[in-house]
Homo-oligomer: A and B are copies of this chain.
Amino acid sequence: MTGLTRLSLNQITTKRWSLPEAVRGCVDAGIPAIGLWRDKVAETGLARSAKLCRDAGLTVSSLCRGGFLTATDPQDRRAALAENLQAVEEAAELGTDTLVMVVGGLPAGSRDLAGARQAVADMIAELAPHAGDFGVRLAIEPLHPMFCADRAVVSTLGQALDLAEPHPTAHVGVVVDSYHLWWDPQLAQQIDRAGRSGRIASYQVCDWTLPLPADALLGRGHVGDGHIDFRTLTDQVTDAGYTGWIEVEIFNQQIWDTPGDQTLRTITERHLAHVAAP
């Protein structure tokens, strides 16, 4: 891994940019890939988004996101299934094999965490073969445990792998996101497990910075600004056999308020300093 050859911009990082602006920004910055968001794709149009990326020579490293699979009401479950099938088709049309799945939190008013986790497993089992038919892999993303109640009842890489393993590797993988996983005492062991079983669908990076902001979702920092040792983490992911894209995905209001080209300069500098092989 040298230079920028494996760097991808997850477009939430430049939230104010439309999809065409993000594509243009990546080309200007020498970033060869982009992770797209469904709302931005919808804004530009699916076919046009796909063509813009293709024409610019950008690889679409992932589509964010499917998921929200924990509903217990049958009608809500059918709606979630339909929504996710739609997301699978969009991923295929955009030319990416990776659909990032944020699995959802506890249903409103529920304290049944085990039940919500079982609902996720059941929905993954329903969705995975359809995803496979489209050449798309469901990439289960464990989120930081502070989002367990409201956003993702899958909190560790080990748990995501347990969910993935009943399915073919081509149908279900996992996301290794530095922000969500860096604290896990089992992380090295689980990255090794994930890599050796061919389950790492995406490696996403951003840093853990303090204090947490009022909206805990928006506390992520540029690589190098926080507490995560990216050299060690990236070596673990690499040693486990992962050779895919390294996506920079940052939720942070201050970064969103920064001009996109400046953000991309910071991203490429930090990638070269902390993530890419020296």
Interfacial residues, chain A to chain B (CB-CB below 8 A) = 106, 111-114, 117, 144-146, 148-150, 155-156, 158-159, 162, 182-186, 208, 210-212, 214-216, 226-229, 232
10 residue pairs bridging A and B, Cβ less than 8 Å apart:
A111-B227, A113-B182, A113-B183, A113-B229, A146-B146, A146-B212, A148-B208, A155-B183, A156-B185, A159-B185
Taking CB as reference atom, which chain B residue is nearest A149?
B227
Chain B residues near A106: list those with CB within 8 A. 227
- Once the chains bind, are A146 and B149 in contact (CB under 8 Å)? no
Task: Give the copy number.
Answer: 2
* Nearest residue, chain B, Cβ from A153: B183
Given contacts A117-B185, A155-B184, A216-B216, contact A228 B111 (CB under 8 A): yes
Give every chain B residue within 8 A of A114 (Cβ-Cβ): 232
CB-nearest residue of chain B to A224: B111
CB pair B146–A185 under 8 Å, yes or no, is no
> In the assembly, what is the distance between CA of A63 and CA of B210, in Å?
28
Contact A145 to B184, CB < 8 A, known contacts A111-B227, A228-B111: yes
Q: CA A155 – CA B214 in complex, angstroms?
A: 22
Distance A182 CA – B150 CA, assembled complex (angstroms): 14
- Contacting residues, chain B, for A144 (C-beta < 8 A): 145-146
Verify A155–B185 contact, CB threshold 8 A. yes
Q: Which residues of B contact A149 (CB under 8 A)?
A: 183, 208, 210, 226-227
Chain B residue, CB-CB nearest to A228: B111
Residues of B within 8 A of A227 (CB): 106, 111, 149
